[in-house]
Amino acid sequence: MPMPASEIERLIKASIPDAEVTIRDLAGDGDHYAARVVSRRFEGMSRIRQHQAVYAALGGRVGGELHALQLETAVPQPETNQ
Amino acid sequence: MSDPQSRIADIVKNNDVVLFMKGTALFPQCGFSSRAVAILDRLGAKYETVDVLQDPEIRQGIKDFSDWPTIPQLYVKGEFVGGSDIMMEMFESGELQQLVGAEA
């Protein structure tokens, strides 16, 4: 079931307010998206936890209403000089 | 113990590298599962697969077990690693190679 990219972005920002969200509609069908989410909140979280935070923001739609969402998460800038 | 959660716990415990996926390694039934298999093949990893399409209890059960809404899901040495996006990131950074290669 198609879902507009703007709605995905709105949901993510509603729960992760500082998130920078970039969404690409991969197939042009409103059903296959790639999202990149950058937030300070992710600092110190494992990749799994970061993705879980985004899935939680989308409130159970991923895997159901939102079939295909490629996800990439990141922290804005590393605090340490690695 | 035949409830799905115990069955999944057993599968994860008894297989060093196991991919819960849609379809089989030879015939993946979804692009994300296909990508996950391709990554493991590229690494030359020895792995088992579980076709969740053959078992509705496992299909739902693994989502609850991992608190993860999508399939595929990779487990290495009993630990949940992630889905195909995380696998790809870890493949590109060399982390996945280390993780699955450590058993050899």
Q: Read off the pLDDT of each residue in B67-80 and give the average, rounded to a whole number.
A: 96
Instruction: Check CB contact under 8 Å for A62 and B69.
Output: yes
Taking CA atoms, what residue in A is nearest to B82?
A48
DSSP secondary structure, B67-96, as one string: T--SS-EEEETTEEEE-HHHHHHHHHHTHH
Judged by a CB distance cut-off of 8 A, whether residue A70 touches chain B is yes
Q: Break chain B into its structural domains and give their ranges.
A: 4-101
With an 8 Å Cβ cutoff, is A60 touching chain B? Answer: yes
Whether B1 shows a pLDDT value over 70: the answer reads: no
- ipTM confidence: 0.85
Q: What are the pLDDT digits (tens) for A18-71?
A: 999 999 998 888 788 999 999 999 999 999 999 999 999 999 899 888 878 999
Q: Considering the domain B4-101 in this protein, what is its CATH number?
A: 3.40.30.10
B68 touches chain A (CB under 8 A): yes
Kind and range of the H or E run holding A46 = none
Distance between CA atoms of B20 and A48, rounded to whole angstroms?
Answer: 16
Q: How far is CA B87 from CA A29, A77, B92, in A?
A: 25, 22, 9
